[in-house]
Amino acid sequence: MPNNDQAKKRLRQDEKKRVHNKAKKSALRTAMKRVLKADTKEVAAQALPLAMKQIDKAAKTNVIHDNAAARFKSQVSRAVSAKG
């Protein structure tokens, strides 16, 4: 348990950040799944820009690492190209 006011405040801030980051990461995974699990190439291509945007935003705010973002973008791009 935190012993001083500063530590208590950090605990509150960290909890808010954790919940926020968890939501961002969940939205990212959902957007990626929409592309990866799409039945047709058209549906996947339509979902691709949103997935790319989510990936970029997550990397920008350090929810995921930059290299992980590059890997995810490559993965969804390849998935769209492979469908058809």
Q: How many CB atoms lie within 10 A of CB 58?
A: 22
- CB 46, CB 13: distance < 8 Å: no
Distance between the two ends of the chain, CA-based, in angstroms? 55
pTM of the model: 0.89
Q: What is the mean pLDDT of residues 60-71?
A: 97
Domain count, the chain: 1
Look at residue 46 in the predicted model and tell me its pLDDT: 96
Inter-axis angle of helices 66-82 and 41-60, to 10 degrees? 180
CATH number of the domain that residue 15 is part of = 1.20.58.110
Per-residue pLDDT tens digits for 12-29: 999 999 999 999 999 999
Domain of residue 69, residue span? 5-82
Give residues with Cβ within 8 angstroms of 21, minimum separation 6: 61, 63
